[in-house]
Amino acid sequence: MVFFEIVITGGIHIDGIADTADGIFSGEKDRKKIFEIMKKGDVGVFGVLAIIFSVGFKIALFYNIAAQLNIFRILDLTAGDLSAVSAGLTTNMKEFLPGFLIFLTIIIFTPVYGRLSMLFLFSRYEPAGKNRSLTDAFKDKSNRDIFILSTVYLSIIFIAASVITRLVFMHSTFNLSLEAIAFIYTIQSVLVIVLTMLIAAGAGRFVTKRTGGLSGDIIGAVCILAEISFLFLNYVSLIFL
């Protein structure tokens, strides 16, 4: 999944986090020099580390979320004749499917909230300089309205999907009414959304303070950080609930 996302995006966001790490942690304080470092075609030590850690964290989080939801149970087929294997598959599918639906929801919305963090950056910050990057082409007065509208309807869809799938998978673990359980999962989903966007906002503030504004690399870097944060927060919520 991690490899597929890199391929379909052309590696543009991974390139962004690598260039941003090289520029921000280069030790330079002059904004022009930071941008010069970020624009270079080569990758420095911090860029390589950023790629390794971001890809590694994503793989680890996907794996552990899958394990937490018993996704690998589908592989535990009963050894023996065809009828035994069929019976084992049927039993495992009943335990596999609800967890898979939760996993699918997380997979789908991870890049969604990564891109929502981009809209936040466009609505909050100005490009670092005219004609410096593609950010000039996407920055206009409608960014704030688009961000607010997108946040509202995407959050409603995510919360609904999260609550429904978790009720199917986890309702038997609580001695509570369905309404109370739905309320708990709604609060959980809201916290995941809010904390993800706060982390993205903090990262955006930290980087733009150093550079004086947005660039394509910064937007890609914050997108990656938002995705990792979203995955981590969902993983933590699964552990506690």
Per-residue confidence band for 104, with pLDDT thresholds at 50, 70 and 90: very high
- What is the Cβ-side half-sphere exposure of residue 126, based on CA atoms within 13 angstroms? 5
Question: Mean pLDDT over residues 105-119, rounded?
Answer: 93
Give the global pTM.
0.85
Nearest Cα neighbor of 2 from 73, 52, 74 is 52
Q: Is 128 helix (H, G, I), strand (E, B) or coil?
A: coil
Q: What is the mean pLDDT of the chain?
A: 83
What is the C-alpha separation between 66 and 197, in angstroms, rounded?
24
Residue with tokens 């937007």: 219
Chain length of the chain: 241
Q: What is d(CA 6, CA 15) in angstroms, rounded to the nearest whole number?
A: 10
Number of domains in the chain: 1
pLDDT higher than threshold 60 for residue 91: no
pLDDT over 70 for what percent of the chain? 83
Q: How far apart are CA 107 and CA 158, in angstroms?
A: 11
Range(s) of the domain holding residue 36: 2-240
